[in-house]
Structure formats: C-alpha cells, structure tokens
Structure 1
Amino acid sequence: MHLTRFRLNTARPGARRLLASPQSLHAAVMASFPRLLPTDGTAQGPRVLWRLDHNARAEVLLYIVSPDRPDLTHLVEQAGWPAAHSSETPGWHTRPYAPFLDRLAQGDTFAFRLTANPVHHIRRKDGEPTKATAHLTPSHQMNWLLKPERQERAGFLINEKPHDQRLLPAGCTDKQHPHDGDRYTLTVRDERTLSFAKSRDTRPAGPKVKVVTVTYDGHLTVTDPHALRRTLTQGIGRAKAYGCGLMTLAPVPAG
C-alpha cells in the first residue's frame, strides 16, 4: 500500500476543470496506475481511495491511498507545475503505507481527517423502497460518524473531551442528540454539494447525480487494529469514486 500527496496548481485551467468535476478527477486518479483497471479493488480488498483537502484557496491537496505506486506525471502536466518536474522532484510525494499500518496498536491515539458522504435511508411513502438521503445538518452529520456500530466496525473510538475543556457541563446542546455540541473532539466542516451528469450522459438536461460531502476532523483511539487497517485501505461510507471515504491519521498535536 502507498500514500501519495499531490498539490494542485489552482491557477491553472486544467486544475480548475478537475476540481469542478469529481468524475474527471476520479478518471485522472485511476489513470495513474498502468496495471490497475478501474474495476480493480473490491469491498474485500485494497482499493484506490482519494480525497481533496481545501486548506486554502491556493492550497488544495490531493491524497491517494492505493495498492500500487502511482505515476502522476499527467496530473503534473495538466494541473501542477510542469517546469519544476524532474526525476528528482516529480511533483508529488509517495510513501509506503504498510509500515505505518503494521504499527497500529490497540490504545494508540491519533488525530484524523475524513471526507465522507453521510447518508441515511428513508421511505417517503408506505410501500415505497427506501432511498439513500444525505444528512444536511451538522448535528446529524456528526451523529452519522459517532454511531457506535460504525465506530466498532471501523476499529476506532472517537475521543471525548475532558470535562474541564467542554463549554457546556453536559457536553451537548440537545438532550435528544447526546452527541451534539462539544462533548467529542470532533468537528464537521466544509460541506459541499457535488452535482454532475451521470456517466456517459451528455444531455444538458439529463439526470444529475448529487453528492453531499463533509469533512471531519478529530481525535480517535484505536480499538481494533485489524479493522482500522481495513478502514484506512477500503474507506468509510459511500461515494468513494467521488473523493469520499479516505481517512488519514496523524500524531495528536502537543498541548
């Protein structure tokens, strides 16, 4: 497994076109693997995951987790800094991921980031099949990730804040939603609604795909290293082809 980081040059038209189309960006990511077909990778094995981090207007980072080492030369030429490209400075950074994954141990604590597509299944009418519907409020988006069975399957537990660091004594703002407020070291931000035509449908008025994404930042504790390794290489939730599901870990900042 490999973890790759690539910075997009947002001043370039090619970068702006990719940022405007998750389908195009997904195709560009998949084109980075000469031996990997788009259909490779299943729910039972490693797959290609990617995520965009919009840290600032001029700093957009693309992260990729993949079984094979990628070649992002085409992305450098289209959306990077081609003049700075060389064999010594290829324009992206790739590191082996397996050593970090192998070191994961129960009780380890990390800061994490995840962009996901939090949905729930509802039935609008009796007898109608359920339909996946996006959570649209920060409260429900937060509760989606805090769901105990989701955390258990993923191999982690999101940390609670010490009581003396909570703004409210109970750590929540709504008794009906005990996960709200500042009880947990978890924030939800950067909600985006992606809307684009279905694949191979070029009609201007054709059906659109809509995906709501949000970014989670927080702290977690490893409860099941094997399950967490699966989470980090297979992703969480839906819409993985559109930049969702990739969780990354980092040391907890000091202090």
Structure 2
Amino acid sequence: MSVFNATRLLGKTVLVTGASSGIGAATAILFARGGANVILVARRIDALKTVTDACIAAHKESGLNQGGKFASVQVDVSDKAQVAGLWDKVPQDLRNVDVLVNNAGYVLGVEHAGDIADADIEGMFATNVLGLISVTQLLIKDFKVRKSGHVINIGSIAGREPYAGGSIYTATKHAVRAFTGSIMRELVNTPIRVTEVQPGMVETEFSIVRYRGDTNAAAKVYDGLQPLTAGDIAEEIVWVASRPPHVNVAELFVMPVNQASATINYRGPK
C-alpha cells in the first residue's frame, strides 16, 4: 500500500503562480518545508518577498539539507510579454522546474449578465484562463524535452457547476477544467502528470476581492460554517505532487464538511 512519502519532494523545483497570498503562499511555504526549491511568481513584489522570507524560515525549521533555494519573480500572468520573459528573472540553477502550480486567479463582483463591466470580464479571462495557458505552454515545452514534470492547475467547484452571480468566474473555471482534461489526454504517451485541484469554500482574501474590498460582505460568505483554509488546500496540492511517479491524481475535489455543492451548505441553527 502506498503511503505519503515527502522525500519525493526533496530537491525538486516548484513554480507557484499567485504566490503572494492565500493558497499560493501557503503552497509555496509547505513545499519549502518539504525540502523543495520554490520559484514564487506574482504581481505584488513586496508581498511576494514576505512569503519568500516565510519559505526560507520554513525550510530552515525543517532541518532538511536539500532544497532551500527560492526566487521571487514579479510577473503578471495576464501579460503575455511578461510571461515570455519569465526565465530572464529566474536564476539559472532553478530553471529545470519539476512541478508547476497554476494558482493565479481571481473573481471580481457578483453582477449578473448584462450588468458586468467589460473590464471585469476581460481581466478574469486574461488571468484565470489566458494567463494559466500561457504559463503552462512555456513550461510544458521543457517538460516534454526532459520527459518529466507535473502540471497542477487550481480549478474550483465553480468549474463543476455554474451559479447565479458568477457567470464569468464559472466560465473561466470551466475553461480551466476543459484545458486541464485536454492536456492530460495530449500527454498520455509521456511521463508528464496533469492534475486539477478543485476547492470549495476557502476563506482567504479571495472573497474580499470579489466584494471589491467590502470585508463585511466577504465575511458573510462563511457565516455559520467552518470553511477550508489556504493551508488545507496547500496540503492537498503537496500530497498530489508527492505521489509516486507512475500515479496521476487527475482531479481532486475538496470541500468543507458542511458544503455539498456551490449553493448547498449547512450553516447551523440560527
């Protein structure tokens, strides 16, 4: 019977997009604790440096003598030119990436179709879909040459079922699910692994962005139940990456115990 074996991560190099906060930050730190090297990619360089410092501390605390190399890379994945120039910002000894975690993404607003600003539509697609595809295309070429690699895309319950007030976000996450499934089929004759992790309700700054900075509205999303945390999803991502090389977890759908679908949950007695 296969068991968790964190030593499979020792010395591996992981690239995480959207690494400046939330799931991306927690994932980068957990990989660091597991003995991996980590390239942290995000738009906000100050926040990114804070997370990188946390990675350094986590690796030091682990006492492991492998891994421990980290790079903060300021790149907006929605900008194709910035993605194309990513390697110019990465140290030479970290350019052989073993695991790509496509985490960058966001949702903005709860407006219904007809009332959604064009800029919001274009922004979500540019980051959640086109950015994810651009980064994947960049790395997958090298994966094919080296006959090794793992693409882990962070999808969502929103990629499994649509809901009112999320028409654009759910459309982007349905696209992520389709893209992930397609590349898995395209790479079936290679050792390259492809995974989609699909979280349900996770309490991060994600909802604050959705509600345009309204922290009260964001907090109400989680009233009465215990949502997942960024750390919960990070554990699943690192677990997926640590499977034996012949094992591919194609989809991992994870929700808090009191959530059954995008719109069905139990919030306890009033």
TM-score (norm 2): 0.28
> Rg larger in 1 or in 2?
1
TM-score (norm 1): 0.29
Higher helix fraction (1 or 2): 2
